[in-house]
Amino acid sequence: MTFSDRGRPQTSKIYIHPKAYLTFKRNVQKGLLARTKIIQSLEAGRRKLPEICKESKLTYYCVRYHLKSLVKEDIVNRTTNNRPFIWSLTGKGQQKLF
């Protein structure tokens, strides 16, 4: 699903991961695209936050903000208690919808 700035559908298709849609947040295009990049990075395996930033080409604070939202939705989790945290997809986050 793609949208222009005014909410009208665009002709070019941008892939948005099905798990990027959140129930507790407003799903605007920038957030959906950022969460899609983060989820795609985590689908390749467990990552530290700087690695996610480098792969997704998003800022540290942007990735941190969206990771907190994805944790609330139980899509990702932190796997270590020591810093730096290692992030991974949960079983719910690993499901793909076709």
- Angle 94-70-80 (CA atoms, 0-180°, nearest 5)? 80
Residue-wise pLDDT for 11-67, tens only, equals 567 788 888 888 888 888 899 999 999 999 999 999 999 999 999 999 999 999 999
5 contacts: CB under 8 Å, gap ≥ 6:
none
The domain limits of the chain are 18-94
Give the pLDDT confidence score for residue 52 in this predicted structure. 94
Sign of the CA dihedral 15, 41, 34, 68?
positive
Q: Which residue has 């298709």 as its token pair?
A: 13
**Which CATH number, 1.10.760.10, 1.10.10.10, 2.40.160.40, 3.30.365.10, labels domain 18-94?**
1.10.10.10
- Choose among 15, 21, 1, 13: nearest CA to 93: 21
